[in-house]
Amino acid sequence: MSGRLLWLDLARGFAVVSMVIAHTSPWGGVLSATEYLTAPWFALLVGISLLLAWEKAGAGAGVGSRSGVAGRFILANVARGLLLIILGEWLQGVYWQIDVVLQTLGLLTIVLAPLVVLVGSRPLVWAGVALVVAVVSPVLMDATRRWLAAGMASGGGVPGWLPWLADVAVTGANYRVTSFLAIAAAGIAATPALVGDGGMGRAGSGMGRGGSGMGRAGSGTDRSGSGSVRVDSGADPPAGPATGGVRGLLTAGSLLTAAAGAYLVGRLGPWGADAYSGTTPEILGAILLSLSATWVCAWLAATLGPRRVRAWLGAVVDTGRMALTAYTVQVLALAVIVRVWLGGGRDDHWAVMLSVIALCLTVSWAWLKVAPIGPLEWVLRLPGRMLARAPVRA
């Protein structure tokens, strides 16, 4: 038997619920926090999942075969990233009222996988990457926007695919890989503290050793390669010592307070810190906010224990196990509701929000009663399984 990282499933499940609220809430107030949290949270979980998956894959490889394992890991996650991009483009065509995040998470997975292989579990290096990218990202975003605008205005030869790639990677109005890369790197830096020394090297992916915040244990996004993070024992592994008890609660509160400070600095200064804006204060605030949310999930898992988490929050955990499918169900349900019942109007209604949350939770809970894995998560497993059949050569 193999256990799962319960807090990671829980985080992904809550991220799906948060995304439904961000998409459909008719009221601002405290619910507007989901606009700041949700997409960065998926990016953070993609980073955590990729590191755990690589630690598992690398730990099982001998010195001579490690390069072959690395190549398979990268190729599997490139394939998964492409699948996410294709699915995201299709969903965007089906429903126009939301900006689908899967394309950005897919490209993030493609970019991040080789970096994870190269850097591994080095928290200080990843923290440095997060800080540097958070500073550079808005500069690159503005410069690329000006360059594209100048090229189009002059009638110059801008390839047709370039604006799309630039939008997903650098210039997007809501999501961009550069912002997500900083957030994912911060998640990777925090992973040893979240998992604990005993969990690193044992946690892996049930999706052919890939990783993603939208996969089975999450993408759920993320979250993406797999996200189906497992350990070798049948029991749920304990979270890191920094996540339990008073220490864990204080850590989550400190991260939340620091996030509020980052957003406040952005709003008081010339940079701004609106959700999705991509400024340095907004990226830093998103890092701290999504880390705080993840710490709360780890604290809940450590405090309540597996039995009570499954009894009280089992549907949320199941949604995290098949987060990509749940995300897709959400988008398709909104498309049907808007077309059939709302006559093409806005989807910002209490009834819509509550019914779609209930639908995602119910579908996930019911599906996993009869199947071990979500349907789209099964598809994301295929690249890793196909590559696993190839012999690993030194």
- Say how many CA atoms lie within 13 Å of 270 toward its Cβ: 1
How does pLDDT run across 7-21, given as a tens digit for each residue? 999 999 999 999 999
Residue 17 CA neighbour count, 13 Å, CB half: 20
> Which one is predicted more confidently, 18 or 208?
18
Predicted local confidence at residue 59, as pLDDT: 65
Average pLDDT value for the chain: 88
Is 288 among the domain residues?
A: yes
Q: Taking 60 as the threshold, does the pLDDT of residue 162 lie above it?
A: yes
316-347: pLDDT as tens digits:
999 999 999 999 999 999 999 999 999 999 99
Greatest distance between any 2 Cα atoms in the chain: 63
Task: Confirm whether 231 is domain-assigned.
Answer: no
Residues 212-237: tens digit of each pLDDT: 556 533 333 333 333 344 433 344 55
Task: State the pLDDT at residue 196.
Answer: 79
> Hey, which bits of the chain come out as E strands?
3-4, 204-205, 229-231
268/44 Cα distance (integer angstroms): 26
Work out the average pLDDT over 84-104: 98
Q: Which domain holds residue 349?
A: 3-210+217-222+241-388
Q: Is 203 exposed, middle or buried (0-12, 13-18, 19+ CB in 10 A)?
A: buried
User: What mean pLDDT comes out for the span 189-214?
Assistant: 61
Is 260 within 8 Å of 292 (Cβ atoms)?
no
Q: Please enumerate in sequence order all residues whose Cβ is within 8 A of that of 334, keeping only pairs 6 or more positions apart, or say none.
A: 23, 24, 95, 97, 98, 347, 352, 356
If phi over 0 gives left and psi between -120 and 50 gives alpha, with beta otherwise, what is residue 145?
alpha
How far, in Å, are 24, 106, 330, 344, 386 from residue 338 at the CA level? Answer: 11, 27, 12, 5, 39
The answer to whether residue 137 scores a pLDDT higher than 70 is yes
Q: Is residue 232 part of a domain?
A: no
Average pLDDT over residues 55-82: 84
pLDDT for 203 equals 43
How many other CB atoms sit within 10 Å of the CB of residue 342?
A: 14
| pLDDT tens-place string over residues 251-301 | 999 999 999 999 999 999 999 999 999 999 999 999 999 999 999 999 999
Closest CA to 305 of 236, 252, 231, 251: 236
The answer to whether 153 touches 192, Cβ cutoff 8 Å, is no
Task: Give the count of domains, the chain.
Answer: 1
Cα angle 372, 322, 333; round to 5 = 125
pLDDT at 236: 58
Q: Is residue 326 included in any domain, yes or no?
A: yes
Q: Could you report the per-residue pLDDT of 340-383, keeping only the tens digit for each?
A: 999 999 999 999 999 999 999 999 999 999 999 999 999 999 99
- How many residues make up the chain in this entry? 394
Query: Is residue 97, in this structure, part of any structural domain at all?
Result: yes
Cβ atoms within 10 Å of 11's Cβ, excluding its own: 34
pLDDT in tens, 144-157: 999 888 877 676 66
Flag whether 357 is in a domain: yes
Tokens for 200? 């690193």
Q: How far apart are CA 182 and CA 40, in angstroms?
A: 10
Query: Would residue 317 count as lying in a domain?
Result: yes
Q: How far apart are CA 56 and CA 184, in angstroms?
A: 18
Task: List helix spans (H) across 213-279.
Answer: 245-268
Of 25, 36, 40, the C-alpha closest to 356 is 25
DSSP one-letter code for 154: T
Does 130 map to a domain? Answer: yes
